Amino acid sequence: MTASNEQPGVDPSVWLKAGQGMMQGMFEFVSRQQEMLKQAGIQIAPLEAATADSEPLVKLQQEIAEQHARLWSGLVNRKPGEAYTPVIPAEADRRFAAPAWAESPVFDYLRQAYLINASFLTRAADVLPVADKQAKGRLQFLMRQYVEAMSPANYAATNPEFVKQAVESKGESITRGILNIIADLEKGRIAMTDESAFEVGRNLAVTPGAVVFENELIQLIQYAPQTEKVCKVPLLIVPPCINKYYILDLQPENSFVQYAVSQGITTYLVSWRNPKQEQGRLGWDDYIEHGVLEAIETVQEISKCPKPNILGFCVGGTLTSSALAVAAAKAELPVESLTLLTTLLDFEEPGDLACFVDEGSVATRENTIGKGGLLAGRELSSVFSALRPNDLIWNYVVDKYLKGNAPPAFDLLYWNSDSTNLPGPFAAWYLRNMYLENNLRVPGRLQMCGVPVDLGRVDCPTYIFATREDHIVPWHSSYLGRKLLGGETTFVLGASGHIAGVINPAAKNRRSYWVGENSTAVADEWLASAEERRGSWWPHWMEWLKARSGSLVAAPKRPGAGRFKVIEPAPGRYVKEPA
């Protein structure tokens, strides 16, 4: 050792041994958790077994020990004001991007040690010899929850930004943070945006239209034409019933509905009711019969078009495909074309939501709400937030509670917090038959509305859109729908995630999307030959839709027709009902 490289009395081997000891303790901790994991359905081979499966864990153990040794050596040898190369760069992680993290060796050490440990735990969950794929997915998900919760950025004592802001504001930021906590406790949830900035019908869901039909489950909105001529074949949109429809009609500049209407498409939309206790008896068949199929029949009668185009988004796409399979079982094909946005038909790889679904949890739902009752919107909202804890939980804990900041006004986050209930029988049936048993992909296995269904009999052109970073509907799984449907399919892959990838306005023309003619059954092979195009996918879809929308005719002069009168202006009562 030389004075230029080491401080007297500091032997890196000591820290290497300390790191190894820490890792041994970590492995012992994991071993003690095996019984708990087994009870949760996660089977892990003994960690001490000297098998090929354990070799990656041994390598990870050695790697993390060496990283901690280098980190400590860099810390104790660091001179005041001297920069050094971090063991794991933190610049790309926005949690640690503030200069305050690098200005203090203590906080710099905390973030570096966290990143090393987080990397180890995440990679260890990937290589642990778990018995089956579903259990491994649950383990990886739970590990991500733990890792992200333990970030030093989440806690006052280990966040230098909290300390700095508290000092500079003379404690006012702490006071504001406490007030933010109290306000959210009164709401029973984390408020992610300035909710006073938005109101449905005032500056959200404002595309002009009217409710022309309603029953216990839905209102049907017909939007006012914005062009003198419109396509003869109208479009019916079926949004997810798990969220409110105005994700497709936020504000004029990012409204999917507004875009469709402005392109000369007469557009109708299903507005699902936010169920209360009296709707707690409704099941999957009710949503098909009195939701999708009744909406199709109404559009047919008002427009005098025997086959409108139809679009389903997320679970709205699953419901729509199921409804068309019910119609096909009766030798009917009531639509000209089908568009599916981020939709699962084959649930073999259903994404992170599968971590919440197993036999025990589904049986519990069936026993408690399966014959009547509600799956509360607040519970659904918590589940979806847990899928992206850094973005939808900890980000707000830090910014609102530690720093005392007020959240900005953001329409998408307002919608995200406007939760919906689900009828218990619907939720229980959906979880068992889709997520747990994956029955929809098997012809004839499921009966809906009294008939056996086969997606292969849905013989119409289909446009399938998925997004590359979707954690709710993985695009590879969405792609599997191509082999289940009977008609020709066009598959398009968008950049970004489940919502941002879909709501990509043509006017802003951001991101990109991939198109390809290859109809191979393997998703990655399709992508390898696909062409990337810059900008929004909306114009590509519109070109596809107009080719199936008939000739131009005079726009309807008024909403409704015959027995279908205007009930109230859009957006209607149902979308305004709170959970």
Residue 479 clears pLDDT 70, i.e. is over it: yes
Burial of 508 (0-12, 13-18, 19+ CB in 10 A): exposed
Alpha helices (H) along 501-548: 523-529, 538-546
Burial of 228 (0-12, 13-18, 19+ CB in 10 A): exposed
Output the pLDDT for position 508: 87
Q: What CA–CA distance (Å, rounded) separates 244 from 287?
A: 15
Highest mean pLDDT pick, 18-27, 73-82, 214-223: 214-223
Q: Assign 91 a pLDDT band (cuts: 50, 70, 90).
A: low
Q: Which one is predicted more confidently, 513 or 102?
A: 513
Give the phi and the psi of residue 267 in degrees, each rounded to 5.
-115, 130
What is the three-state SS of 412-429?
HHHHHHCCCCEEHHHHHH
Q: What is the mean pLDDT of residues 68-90?
A: 72
CB 35 within 8 A of CB 43: no
Residue 8 clears pLDDT 80, i.e. is over it: no
Q: Which one is predicted more confidently, 132 or 405?
A: 405
Give 3-state DSSP helix, strand, coil % of the chain, rounded to 5.
45, 15, 40
Percent of the residues in the chain that have a pLDDT greater than 70, as a whole number? 88
The count of other CB atoms within 10 Å of the CB of residue 435 is 18
Residue with tokens 């404002």: 206
Q: What CA–CA distance (Å, rounded) separates 295 from 270?
A: 7
Burial of 521 (0-12, 13-18, 19+ CB in 10 A): exposed
CB 279 within 8 A of CB 247: no
Q: What CA–CA distance (Å, rounded) separates 271 from 219?
A: 5
Q: Assign 84 a pLDDT band (cuts: 50, 70, 90).
A: low
Q: What is the mean pLDDT of residues 270-281?
A: 97
Q: What string of DSSP letters covers 34-92?
A: HHHHHHTT--B--TT--STTTHHHHHHHHHHHHHHHHHHHHHHTPPTT-----SS--TT
Residue 555 clears pLDDT 80, i.e. is over it: yes
Give strand ranges (E) for 414-511. Answer: 422-423, 447-448, 451-452, 462-467, 489-494
Give the residue from 203, 264, 183 showing the smallest Cα distance to 228.
Answer: 264
Residue 35 clears pLDDT 80, i.e. is over it: no
Amino acid in position 512: S
Q: What CA–CA distance (Å, rounded) separates 79 from 75?
A: 9
The helix or strand, by DSSP H or E, that contains position 396, with its residue range, turns out to be: helix 395-396
The count of other CB atoms within 10 Å of the CB of residue 542 is 18
Which domains occur in the chain, in start order? 12-161 (no CATH), 169-198+377-415 (no CATH), 209-374+421-576 (3.40.50.1820)
List 231, 241, 305, 314, catalytic entry: 314
CB 567 within 8 A of CB 559: no
- 286-344 per-position pLDDT tens digit: 999 999 999 999 999 999 999 999 999 999 999 999 999 999 999 999 999 999 999 99
Output the pLDDT for position 30: 43
Residue 235 clears pLDDT 50, i.e. is over it: yes
CB 472 within 8 A of CB 442: no
Q: Assign 185 a pLDDT band (cuts: 50, 70, 90).
A: very high
Residue with tokens 């006073």: 196
Output the pLDDT for position 65: 87
CB 230 within 8 A of CB 263: no
Q: What CA–CA distance (Å, rounded) separates 13 from 3?
A: 17
CB 205 within 8 A of CB 246: yes
Give the phi and the psi of residue 345 in degrees, each rounded to 5.
-115, -35
What SS3 class is residue 197?
A: helix
Q: What is the DSSP letter of 9?
A: T
Residue 11 clears pLDDT 90, i.e. is over it: no
Tokens encoding 446:
């499921």
Catalytic site includes residue 241: no
Q: What is the mean pLDDT of residues 67-72?
A: 86
> b/e string for 172-191 if b means 16 or more Cβ within 10 A?
ebbebbeebeeebeeeeebb
pTM over 0.75: yes
Q: Assign 47 a pLDDT band (cuts: 50, 70, 90).
A: very low
Amino acid in position 459: D
Residue 18 clears pLDDT 60, i.e. is over it: no
Q: What is the DSSP letter of 160?
A: H
- 483-535 per-position pLDDT tens digit: 999 999 999 999 999 999 999 999 888 899 999 998 888 999 999 999 999 99
Output the pLDDT for position 33: 42
- 390-429 per-position pLDDT tens digit: 888 999 999 999 999 999 999 999 999 999 999 999 999 9
Output the pLDDT for position 83: 57
Q: What CA–CA distance (Å, rounded) separates 355 from 376?
A: 19
CB 480 within 8 A of CB 345: yes
What SS3 class is residue 568?
A: strand
Q: What is the mean pLDDT of residues 186-210?
A: 94
Q: Assign 20 a pLDDT band (cuts: 50, 70, 90).
A: very low
What SS3 class is residue 345?
A: coil
Q: What is the mean pLDDT of residues 355-363?
A: 91
Percent of the residues in the chain that have a pLDDT greater than 90, as a whole number? 68
Tell me the average pLDDT of the chain. Answer: 88
Output the pLDDT for position 313: 98
> b/e string for 312-339 if b means 16 or more Cβ within 10 A?
bbbbbbbbbbbbbbbbbbeeebbbbbbb
CB 339 within 8 A of CB 469: no
Q: What CA–CA distance (Å, rounded) separates 139 from 145?
A: 10
Q: Which one is predicted more confidently, 55 or 99?
A: 99
Sheet of strand 568-569: strand arrangement: 531-534, 512-515, 489-494, 462-467, 338-341, 309-313, 235-238, 267-272, 218-223, 209-214, 568-569
Alpha helices (H) along 220-314: 256-262, 284-286, 294-303
Residue with tokens 């009930």: 567
Compute the Cα dihedral for 257, 260, 263, 264 and give only its sign: negative
